[in-house]
Structure 1
C-alpha cells in the first residue's frame, strides 16, 4: 500500500499567505483588512440570566486582553496563545458590549422551564423565552451578533430526556436548530454558549484550554457579526475546477422513508454555491 501525504493548502490573509489560520491572523491580519470599507467594531448583544451575563462580560474582557497558551503542552502550533482582539492586532476589530445591548432572563422563568416534565415542552418554552429577548435586541438595538448564554441546568434540561420518553420523537426537538430557525427572519446571527464553557477554571475537565476557546469564539463572532471572512483559500486559476458537496440523510417523521439533502456546497476556491431545485 502506498500512502501519499497531501500538502496543506495555502490560506490568504491581509498581507500574505500561510497554512495556519491562527498564525496568519496573528502576523498578517484578517483577509478583509484590505477592504477600505470594512468595519472595525463589533457590537455584541447578550441574552442570559444575571450570572451568565456576568460570566460573558468577564470572558469578553479576557478575550480583549489575550490569553496565555496551554503551558503543559509541547504542541506549540496546536495550542497557541490568543493575543487578544482589538483594533491594532490580529482581527483588527473592537468588541463592544453594553447593558443597553443586554437582556436578562429571570431565574423564575428558567426554573419554570426546567421543571416541565416533557423535554419537548422544555425545548418549546426555552425557545420562546430566548426568542422574545433576541427579537427585542434585533429590532430595537443596533447589534451585529447576539450571544445567548445558556444556564447549565437549562442546557441539561433541553438536551436530555427521561428514559421512558420515546427516543424517535425526541430527535425532532433540537433547541439550537429550532431557535436559529425561528430567529432567521430577524436577520441577526446568533452564537450560543454554555455558562460552564466560559467559566475559566484551572480544572477545565473535558473542555478545551482557554486560549483555544478564545480563538474559536472570537473567530465565530468575527465571521458572523462582520459577515465577512477572516481568511480564504489562495485562488489558483490553473487548478482543475471542482465542486465539493456534503450530503446529509434523514428519516421522515413517520420513519418510513429516508431522504437526502445537500449542505456545504462550494467550489475549489471555497466559494459557496446555491443549487436551485424544481419549485414544489
Structure 2
C-alpha cells in the first residue's frame, strides 16, 4: 500500500480486560479464574454428569486424567535455556478451585467400544465409509443412551485412539495398511479425495458421501440433531508417556500438563454451563458482532456455497445461524449473498438478539474477509430497525506486506496500530505481551489489515473498532490462552463452515456456538 508521503505514527491500543467472579477484572483468563473464579458462580458445587466413550484403555486413561485435574498441576521446571521465569505458563490449581465445578469418575456414564472393531472399520478401502462407520461406533452409543436411559448427560467425552487421528482425516493417506472390503463394492478401488456428487452411487446408504471423510466433523455434525455438546480428546494427550517410539520418546509432543488442563477445563466449563467463564469488561451496551462464513459445497455445482453467520456478544455465548445455500461465489472468486438471502439472514440474527435482550442492538458489526456489494449491503440495512447502526468491517490477515519492530530487532507490542485514515488501519493483534513476558509465535508477527467498509448511520471511530477486535481475540473459551491472533468472529469461520457443509448438519438452523467446537 502506498502512503503518499504521509507521516504515520504508531499508536498503542490498550490491552482489553476481562470480567470474572464478583465483578473483578484482569487481563489474563488464568489469573482471573485463579483469583476470582468464573463470572457466574454456581450456588453449590456438584459433579458434572459426564458420558465417556472409548476403548477399555481409553476409558481408564480418562478416569486417571479426571482425577489428575481435580488436583493441582505444576508447570515444568525451567530448562537449561530458560533465563527467566516463564510467565506464559501457569500452574493449574484444580478444576473446582479454578472453575467451581467438579468431576466424579465413579459416577461417569461409560460406554466401552471394541478397539478391534474400531481399528478394522478404519481400514475399509472407501475412506468415506471407513470414517462414517468409525464415527457411528461412537455416536450410536449417544443415540442409544438418549433413547433408552433417563439419566441426563451434560457433555459427552470421546476418547480417541491415535489410529483414528492418523486414518480418519481428509488428508489421511493410509499407506501400508491392509485394507478391508466394505459395503460399497462398486467403489472399492476408487480414491475419494473429495465427496462425490449426490446420486453418484446406486447403492443404499449413499448419504455417506454427503459428508467429508473427517472424524471430528462427523462427530460434531451428527451431534447437532442430538443436542449434545462434546469434547474429543486423543489418548496420547491424556498420557503421552504411555505412547513411546523406538527411541523411548513420546510419539508426539504435547503442551505441558498444566496448560493442557487449563485448556481442557475451560472448554469443559464453557460447554456445560449456561454462561461462559469470563466476558469482555466495560463493553458498550447493546453491541453485537457477527462474523460471516461462506463455504463451498463439494457436492453441488461449481460456485454453490453455504452461508452462515456467527453472532457473539460480550456477555454471552455465541450462536451460529445457517443461511441459504446458493451460487454465492462470483467471477472474482469472492462471496456475495443475494439481496433476499442477505435480508433473511440478518433478520434471523436480529430477532435472536431481541429474544435474548428484549430490544434490538444499538450497534451491529459485520466482520468479514471481503467487501459487500451494494444490493447485499442495502438488504442488511433494510432488515435492521432505524435504531441499529449496521457497520461492515473487513478483517484481512497479512503475510509480510508490513513489518514493525521494537528496538530494532524485537516484535512490536501486541495492540500496536498504524491508523492510515478514518477507514483503514493495521493492527498487531499478535506481538510481545508484557504480562506474559514473551511473544508466542514462530516469526515476526504480521498485522491484521482492518477496513471500515460501510455503516448505515455514523461510522464509529477507528480506535473503537480496533479496541473491539482486540477484545474479541480474548473470548476463545475453547482454550485458556492470553489471546488469539484473530478475533473470534474470524478465528473459527472455517471450522464452523466445515461442519455446516456436512450432510449430517443440513437440518441445523441456529445452534449455540459451543456445539461446533
Question: TM-score over 0.5 for the alignment?
Answer: yes
Q: TM-score, normalised by structure 1?
A: 0.85
2:221 alignment partner, SS class: helix
Look at both structures and tell me which one has the larger radius of gyration over its CA atoms: 2
Match among 197, 213, 220 for residue 237 of structure 2: 197
Aligned partner of 2:115 in structure 1 is 107
Deviation at 1:260, TM superposition (A): 5.4
2:13 paired residue number: 6
Are 1:161 and 2:173 counterparts? yes
Once the two structures are superposed, what CA deviation does each residue of 1:134-192 show, in whole Å capped at 9, x if it has no partner? 22334423221110001111221212135783423398222222222212232221111
- Per the normalisation by structure 2, the TM-score is 0.48
How big is the shift at 1:220? 0.8
- For 1:80, the equivalent position in structure 2 comes to 90
The alpha carbon displacement at 1:261 in A equals 2.3
Alpha carbons 2:128, 2:192 under 8 Å: kept: no
Secondary structure of 2:254 counterpart: coil
Find the aligned partners of 1:188 and 1:110 in 2 and give their Cα distance.
Answer: 22
Aligned residue among 143, 148, 162 for 2:153: 143
Q: Distance in 2 between matches of 1:184 and 1:244?
A: 21
Secondary structure of 1:98's aligned partner: helix
Structure 1's 203 and 4: CA in aligned 2 closer, same or farther, altered over 3 A? farther
Distance of aligned partners of 1:75 and 1:114 in 2 relative to their CA distance in 1, 3 Å threshold: farther
* 2:122–2:131 contact (8 Å) kept in structure 1: no
For residues 3-82 of structure 1, the aligned pairs below 5 Å read: 3-15=10-22, 16-33=24-41, 36=43, 40-72=46-78, 74=84, 76-82=86-92
How many pairs does the alignment contain?
A: 275
Partner of 2:135: 127
Structure 1, residues 83-126: CA drift from partner, whole Å, max 9, x if none? 1112xx22111112336600000123213212211211111101
Supply the distance in 2 between the matched residues of 1:167 and 1:255 (Cα, whole angstroms).
Answer: 17
Which structure 1 residue ranges, 4+ long, deviate > 4 Å from structure 2?
Answer: 202-205, 239-242, 267-271, 273-276
Report the alpha carbon displacement of residue 274 of structure 1 after superposing the two structures with TM: 6.5
In 1: Cα distance, 2:260 partner to 2:277 partner: 17
From 199, 219, 223, give the equivalent of 2:270.
Answer: 223
The 2-side partners of 1:194 and 1:271 are apart by 26
Contact (CA 8 Å) 2:48, 2:103: kept in 1 or not?
yes
**Structure 2 CA distance for partners of 1:189 and 1:269, relative to 1, 3 Å:** closer
CA distance in 1, matches of 2:61, 2:36: 31
What secondary structure sits across from 1:4 in the alignment?
strand
Q: CA RMSD in A?
A: 2.9
Of residues 192, 196, 207, the one that matches 2:254 is: 207
Whole-angstrom distance in 2 between the partners of 1:214 and 1:273: 26
Q: Secondary structure at the match of 1:230?
A: coil
Rounded to whole Å, the distance in 2 between the matches of 1:51 and 1:27 is 36
Equivalents in 1 of 2:35, 2:73: separation in Å?
A: 17
What residue ranges of structure 2 are gaps of 5+ in the alignment?
1-7, 176-189, 197-210, 242-248, 322-343, 349-508, 510-517
Number of the residue aligned with 2:101: 93
Preserved contact between residue 289 and residue 312 of structure 2 (Cα < 8 Å): yes
Distance in 1 (CA, whole Å) between partners of 2:292 and 2:257 is 31
